[in-house]
Chains A and B, each alone.
Chain A
Amino acid sequence: MTDVGLQLDQQAGTEVGVSSASVGDYIALLKPRVMSLVVFTSIVGLVLAPGGLHPALAVVAILAIAVGAGASGALNMWYDADIDAVMSRTANRPVPAGRVTPGEALGFGLALSLFSVMTLGLATNWFAGAFLAFTIFFYAVIYTMWLKRWTPQNIVIGGAAGAFPPMVGWAAVTGGVSLESFLLFAMIFVWTPPHFWALALVKSEDYRRAGVPMLPNVAGPAATRRQIVLYSVILAPLGVAPALTGMASPVYGVIAAAAGLAFLWLAWRLLRRSEGKPATKAAWQLFGYSIFYLFGLYAALLADHVIRHLPGAA
């Protein structure tokens, strides 16, 4: 069937309450790419936590955290459909494209929130369950409904929602939080602003049209570049910190230091290149590298922990 034909059927179906959504549309509501980062960081939190969890329960915990992240994505898409519709990057999402109604997205998000929190609580402990519920609340209500449309510091404070998953993974094992789990949180929390502001520099016109007060639109590109460098200066040593607290080995420390210096260099280059295509290219490069940096740092933490705990390792 042609796209036009399908759209006409969608319109007619919506008028009589018939959904035209495919299974893939519901999967898209979960924001699978964001979910993959949440899964990975929560696995690292769960593995690094002292003590043990039955492997089957560990898998269930990761699944519950992933579904919880997906649920908050669905709630975000429900509330932000008006913004998504006017941004090129998000216009084809299921709700603004009309394939899923806002009510369906809301119901889907709420149901998955409930299931994920109950499952994590039953499988591990209720502190972890409550922490997951708070994370979903923070992303869907504090960030999406309040901060995002109100302040250019939206992703600074809202970034906490994306930084909580390793703490939730840690809590699933230990039933609490600790300095080490807070360090895992802090690494993502400080990483979030330069990551999103690099994207916002390129997509500032989209955000302006949607009325989202991102830093480049409110304070200007130059101030945003300075802020990116500032956060990068904090992030680089923070990435090394696990090696200083005994959470990771010096080998990890060297890798994290090198990766942090590369991050700083790309941020510095973005500060110096403020005009035309070189500026856009520098922003894209920092954005791309920031994803690699966070995945790489957490992968290094995981590998370092596994190697140090191999049978026979000192």
Chain B
Amino acid sequence: MSQPPELEGYKLTPEQEKRRRMRSWAIAGGLAFLVVLFYIIAVVKVTGSAGHGG
């Protein structure tokens, strides 16, 4: 039985690959930053409430 011909997909140029990689890093950095940000907000809010007897 003969194999179907392999479909040729769209190949990213080196420039497009580089830009996609940079976008991925930026999204990862943004998400990590948000995690730290919400951690800080939580810590400050909790310690603030504890300080006020809440």
Contact = CB atoms under 8 A, between A and B. Distances in A.
A26 interface: yes
A292 B9 CA distance: 53
Nearest to B43: A56
A13 B10 contact: yes
B16 A9 contact: yes
Interface stretch (A17-25, A89-97, A248-256): A17-25
A12 B10 contact: yes
Given A1-B15, A9-B16, A16-B10, A23 B26 contact: yes
B16 to A, nearest CB: 6
A33 B2 CA distance: 61
Contact of B15 (A6, A12, A57): A6
A309 interface: no
A16 B8 CA distance: 13
Interface residues of B, number: 17
Interface string A93-137: 000000000000000000000010001001100000000000000
B21 to A, nearest CB: 10
A39 B13 CA distance: 38
B16 A20 contact: yes
Grouping DSSP codes into helix (H, G, I), strand (E, B) and loop, the A interface class, with mixed when no group exceeds half, is helix
Contacts of A115: 34
Contacts of B19: 19-23
Contacts of B22: 22-23
Nearest to B10: A16
B29 to A, nearest CB: 10
Nearest to A8: B13
Nearest to B30: A115
Interface string B11-45: 01101100110110010000000100110110010
Contacts of A87: none
B20 A60 contact: no
Given A12-B10, A18-B12, A56 B26 contact: no
B24 to A, nearest CB: 10
B23 to A, nearest CB: 6
A135 B48 CA distance: 29
A12 B12 CA distance: 10
A16 B19 CA distance: 16
Contact of B37 (A6, A18, A119): A119
Interface in A266-287: none
Interface pairs A-B: 5 shortest CB-CB: A16-B10, A23-B26, A123-B41, A22-B19, A9-B13
21 contacts: A1-B13, A6-B15, A9-B16, A12-B10, A13-B10, A13-B16, A16-B10, A19-B19, A20-B16, A20-B19, A23-B22, A23-B23, A23-B26, A26-B23, A56-B40, A56-B41, A56-B44, A57-B41, A119-B41, A122-B41, A123-B41
Given A1-B13, A18-B12, 5 more contacts: A13-B16, A23-B19, A56-B44, A60-B40, A115-B34
